Amino acid sequence: HTSFIPLQHPLLFPYGGDGFKEDISIRDSTFGGQSRTRVRVTLREWVERHIESRNILNARRLFQQFVVDAYTMVESQILSFIRNNQKTIRSDVLNGLQEVVGKDEIDPSFIEKCVILPPSFTGGMRYMFNNCQDAMTICKRFGYPNLFITITCDANWSEIRDFVIERGLTASDRLDIVCRVFKMKLDELMNDFNSYILKFFWIIFGTSTFFHAR
């Protein structure tokens, strides 16, 4: 509903108004001297604009709740698009006997009734399967890893501490800054290795500001 965000977060939207609507037009119809193929504002762009234009970043726990609500809305919109555009992602090819047999499903009524998630959907079965295949291919081509390094985020890093203290906040209030600093330090660690060494990692997010990469 267009009023969900203003009603859910009255302190962040004290004047009310409508939230996101699918008929919001992009003001600038050209980009880089070329006409845009898309003329409507997406939900993700709408959320990004409101985070930048309003004083939401310093709203402490309300900022986190707003981000969670916005993320679920964006994710629901993506899943709704996938559900309504199964032919576009070639589900007729994927949703066949081979798909059913792979799931140990023997009921014929199950065929062509499930929603196929494409590999581009983060966290989906095909997304995880493709990543696993890529990892196995890398190990087959270059050998197994011989270094296992873990870098853990520290909320007391000077870059994080100085930023939040200046604004009277804590590290848990600005997880976006914590993630940026952590990613910068992770990139520096990766650059410390020689360029001819193959490097790959994954980031594990835990509770609060405790997350690490391996």
Position with higher pLDDT, 132 vs 103: 132
Position 61 scores a pLDDT of 83
Is 162 a member of any domain?
yes
Are 80 and 2 contained in the same domain?
yes
Of 84, 103, 118, the one marking the end of a domain is 84
Residue, of 20 and 137, whose pLDDT is higher: 137
Counting the structural domains of the chain, the total is 2
pLDDT at 48: 81
Question: Are 80 and 149 part of one and the same domain?
Answer: no
pLDDT band at 111 (very low <50, low <70, confident <90, very high): low
Compare 116 and 208 and report the one with higher pLDDT.
116
Instruction: Give residue 104's pLDDT.
Output: 55
Report if residue 181 sits inside a domain: yes
pLDDT in the model for residue 207: 59
Q: What is the pLDDT of residue 109?
A: 59
Q: Is the pLDDT of residue 52 over 80?
A: no
* Model confidence band, residue 119 (pLDDT cutoffs 50, 70, 90): confident
Higher pLDDT, 157 or 5: 157
**Residue 33: predicted pLDDT:** 60
Residue 106 lies in a domain: no
pLDDT for res 125: 83
Q: Who wins on pLDDT, 195 or 81?
A: 81
Please name which of 52, 51, 79, 49 lies closest in space to residue 67, comparing C-alpha atoms.
51
In a domain, 176, yes or no: yes
What range does the domain containing 26 cover?
Answer: 1-84
Q: Is residue 112 domain-resident?
A: no
Q: What is the pLDDT of residue 85?
A: 81
Residue with tokens 């309003």: 54
User: Is 6 part of any domain?
Assistant: yes
- Statement: residue 31 has pLDDT above 60: no
What is the tens place of the pLDDT at every residue in 122-169? 888 888 888 888 888 888 887 887 777 788 888 888 888 888 888 888
Of 35, 56, 84, which one is at a domain's C-terminal end?
A: 84
Residue 183 gets the label, from left (phi > 0), alpha (psi -120 to 50) or beta, of alpha
> What pLDDT sits at residue 121?
84
The domain boundary residue, chosen from 61, 84, 107: 84
Residue 182 belongs to a domain: yes
Report the predicted TM-score, pTM, of the whole model to 2 decimal places.
Answer: 0.69
